A and B are shown apart, each in its own frame.
Chain A
Amino acid sequence: MSESGKKIRVVIAKPGLDGHDRGAKVIARALRDAGMEVIYTGLRQTPEQIVTTAIQEDADGIGISILSGAHQFYFKRVIDLLKEKNASDILVFGGGVIPEDDIPGLLEMGAGAIFGPGAPTSSAIEWLEKTVAAKIN
């Protein structure tokens, strides 16, 4: 729950052809158990589909789960599309098999946070609660 009392809404997205959905589903359930409203896209989403879903669902954030190594490509496309559609207020965060060296580049691109292998779900929950609250205030 954000401080305004409105439930935080999050789209958990699997971009591209990557079929590893264990992490996406675990984080979706953990966010839901933490009281957020979660929309899980399912596999093989294009960046266009992900951004459209997030806008239609009035999401506070998009969580991108990617383990295929194509993270730079997909984060950039999603962030660029959000800008194009004047929806940059939607937070972008993510996780998966993402080397530490790549994280600064993703943050610079406009990602809010990256949760790598071994990160507890609580770290994503805390980050979302804090960041969404800060955005509202």
Chain B
Amino acid sequence: MEDAGFNEAKARYEDKADKALRKNAERRAEFTTGGGIPLERLYDPESIAGHEYAGHIGFPGEYPFTRGVQPTMYRGRFWTMRQYSGFATAEESNARYRYLLERGTTGLSVAFDLPTQIGYDTDHPMAAGECGKVGVAIDSLADMEILFDQIPLDKVSTSMTINAPAAVLLAMYICVGEKQGVKTSELSGTIQNDILKEYMARGTYIFPPHPSMRLITDIFDFCGREIPRWNTISISGYHIREAGSTAIQEVAFTLADGIAYVEAARKKGLDPDVFGERLSFFFNAHNDFLEEIAKYRAARRLWASIMKERFGTKNPKAQMLRFHTQTAGCTLTAQQPENNVIRVTLQALAAVLGGTQSLHTNSMDEALALPTEKSVETALRTQQVIAYESGVTNTIDPLAGSYAIEKLTDEIEAGAMDYIEKIDNMGGMLAAIEKGYPQKQIQDAAYEYQKAVESKDTVVVGVNQFQTKESDAAARKLLRVDASVEERQIGKLKKLRSERGNVAVKERLESIREGARDENANLMPLILDAVRVYATEGEICGVLREEFGEYVENIVL
């Protein structure tokens, strides 16, 4: 730093600050980010002394991608505005998707109900009471055809939050495309397909780790050949954060999961320079504005170095961390729900300033129920106001060079690297999960947060401060999914089972069984064949359950 006056000016400032402190103490003894990173009173050029711009920060579209993955970012095109939705049956959800598309959403994101996510048909005893509650009920291709009725799959990209049975839902999507006359190679979208965070934080696992990793890498292999534009996985920190982790843990555990997937695919003989291009990520946008912006930048830089240095990739596209963001559901409050609109705005702005490729903004009523049409519209409008009115999209990574942002970016990267090293020393993420390590870390952070809220050390506006007496929630109109939805869906399923060609279904289910027993077979084409003749999701997953067994939760408290 060649700045003659700097030291003198800084000494003067520190002197002034000391005097001010003697008069009045600061609001708190220590300041930290929401994720617990200590914050200094002031960051200045010394905070980032020694940074070599080109190698460390660099230019957008170039390694290490700190400033973004594309050379023009939002000046070229905005992020995809992708609202996660789905409820009741395929009919209701199709209507909601068309409502969203009419209002300017630019990509679909399917929420499935819990039986679908856990591979049970709606009439399975374990599915009782859950049909259509947290997402749409899909039992077979027949439901999927209705879900995408009049939605052209060559024009819209679709993200599906589906993990353990991802292969089955992807197969259904391919079949709907075929029926619409869309070539499989032209489909674009994403399946979440991230089982490790299910074991760690989200809970919709089915099979044990080994066959689960096989299904995932079967999909990598199949998609590499058949659907080159498909994101084969969305490695998700979102749910890790929702379960209570800090920002550093979110980055660390997500990238450690990523490392485990790359290693599994390499073991199968796949080339990281090829499949690496189709790995995508999914992060949370939490409350601490500066920390979140730094988090995305740190994650990008760290993943680039992992892919380059650790896995030796040469293809820059395989080093780019492309990601979807969702605002943090856990920060929404049932009290004074209008305040959630403001929270979501700040969180979404952080995601945009952090260079997200795709964004979901939560609706104000989601602390209580699935959102109504009206509240979803406001959530989408929030993104549009940021995109079209705020001006932050007109120059790339505008907060780069901010001493605070660059310093936080460095600290999050370093903190995440420490965790990844610990996990490496345990033998990788699978071994760490078996030991309960990330689960315990997440829970400890969640419990600390709860204690901080109860002691009011952490303020939640409208909840532990600035409360109002009247009940806001009771008067609101909430979306309800009633029990008749389950009856209707079971009726459809019974009809399907009596009308389809059951001989072909049985044969193809047996082929899946044989494929499951042969480690060298790729299950994806076999599942596709079964889906095509209307084998149900529960039947396919049922065969795989018989062959693979089921995961037993490692309870950590």
- A interface residues, Cβ below 8 angstroms from B: 16-22, 25-26, 28-30, 40, 42-44, 46, 68-70, 73-74, 77, 97-101, 116-118, 120-122
Contacts and interface: CB of A to CB of B under 8 A. Distances in A.
A20 B447 contact: no
Contacts of B557: 25, 28-29, 40
B473 A100 contact: yes
Nearest to A46: B126
Nearest to B126: A17
A87 B408 CA distance: 55
Nearest to B244: A22
B114 A68 contact: yes
Given A42-B553, A118-B333, A17 B471 contact: no
A40 B454 contact: no
A16 B114 contact: yes
A97 B128 contact: no
A70 B368 contact: no
B218 interface: no
Nearest to B554: A42
A133 to B, nearest CB: 22
B450 A26 contact: yes
Nearest to A117: B334
Interface range, B side: 35 or more
B368 A74 contact: no
B117 to A, nearest CB: 8
A29 to B, nearest CB: 5
Given A17-B115, A122-B454, A22 B446 contact: yes
Interface of B: 114-115, 117-118, 120, 126-130, 133-134, 198, 202-204, 242-244, 330, 332-335, 367-370, 443, 446-447, 450, 453-454, 460, 463-464, 471, 473-474, 478, 481, 483, 553, 555, 557
Contact of A118 (B129, B335, B483, B553): B335
Secondary structure at chain A's binding surface: helix, strand, loop or mixed?
loop
Given A17-B114, A22-B330, 16 more contacts: A16-B129, A17-B115, A22-B243, A25-B447, A43-B203, A68-B134, A70-B130, A73-B128, A73-B483, A97-B369, A98-B368, A100-B473, A116-B334, A117-B367, A118-B463, A122-B454
A74 B483 CA distance: 13
A19 B130 contact: no
A117 B302 CA distance: 36
- The 4 A-B pairs at the shortest CB distance, nearest first, are namely A19-B203, A73-B129, A17-B114, A69-B133
A105 B312 CA distance: 60
10 contacts: A17-B204, A22-B446, A26-B244, A26-B443, A26-B450, A99-B368, A99-B478, A100-B368, A101-B474, A116-B334
B134 A69 contact: yes
Most central of B134, B242, B446 by chain A CB within 10 Å: B134
A62 B464 CA distance: 27
A87 B460 CA distance: 39
A99 B367 CA distance: 9
A50 to B, nearest CB: 14
Nearest to A39: B557
A61 to B, nearest CB: 18
B369 A99 contact: yes
B555 A42 contact: yes
B115 A25 contact: no
Contact of B203 (A18, A97, A118, A121): A18
Given A68-B130, A73-B129, A97 B447 contact: no
Contacts of B114: 16-19, 68
